[in-house]
């Protein structure tokens, strides 16, 4: 499974969907995240919780998530996604990793519904 930034932030900031994210991750086995999304996550950590940045970062590193740097194929997929879908720059790299690895993307961002990858989103009430 691929992690989107939104899923990591939900857990780190103890948002209502955090339990759902943790349940999905525990069922997934292997969990990957683009290093572009790691950078995006770290920016949010610093902006929203500067006093606990180190602890949040250490928890993320200890979580077992494998961080994957983008390669040329992912760069091409991300660029294509930016033109086709309503995704921001970071989302394009989450999309590209999911597409390249042929794995579902765990996200809280409904914009991924319009893409051609498998997306794992919480059920809407």
The two three-digit tokens of residue 97, written as one number: 């990793």
Chain segment 23-68, per-residue pLDDT in tens: 999 999 899 999 999 999 999 999 999 999 999 999 999 999 999 9
Chain segment 60-112, per-residue pLDDT in tens: 999 999 999 999 999 999 999 999 999 999 999 999 999 999 999 999 999 99
- Tracing tokens 């794992």 back to the chain, one arrives at 120
Look at residue 76 and give its three-state secondary structure: helix
The two three-digit tokens of residue 42, written as one number: 């770290």
CATH top class, domain 2-120? alpha beta
Residue 125: per-residue pLDDT: 45
Residue 52: per-residue pLDDT: 93
82 vs 91: CA distance, rounded Å: 9
Residue 75: per-residue pLDDT: 98
Q: Looking at residues 9-24, what average pLDDT do you find?
A: 95
How many other C-beta atoms are found inside a 10 Å radius of the C-beta of residue 15? 15
Check whether 124 has a pLDDT greater than 80.
no
Which residues are paired to 33 by β-bridges?
Answer: 67
What are the boundaries of each domain within the chain?
A: 2-120
This prediction's pTM:
0.93
């Amino acid at each position: 499974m691929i992690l989107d930034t939104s899923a990591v932030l939900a857990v780190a900031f103890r948002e209502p969907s955090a339990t759902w994210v943790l349940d999905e991750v525990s069922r997934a086995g292997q969990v990957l995240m683009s290093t572009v999304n790691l950078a995006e996550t770290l920016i949010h950590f610093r902006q929203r919780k500067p006093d606990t940045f180190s602890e949040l970062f250490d928890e993320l590193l200890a979580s077992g998530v494998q961080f994957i740097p983008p390669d040329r194929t992912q760069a091409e997929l991300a660029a294509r996604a930016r033109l086709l879908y309503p995704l921001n720059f970071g989302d394009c790299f989450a999309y590209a990793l999911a597409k390249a690895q042929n794995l579902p993307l765990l996200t809280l961002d409904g914009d991924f519904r319009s893409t051609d990858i498998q997306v794992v989103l919480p059920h809407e009430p």
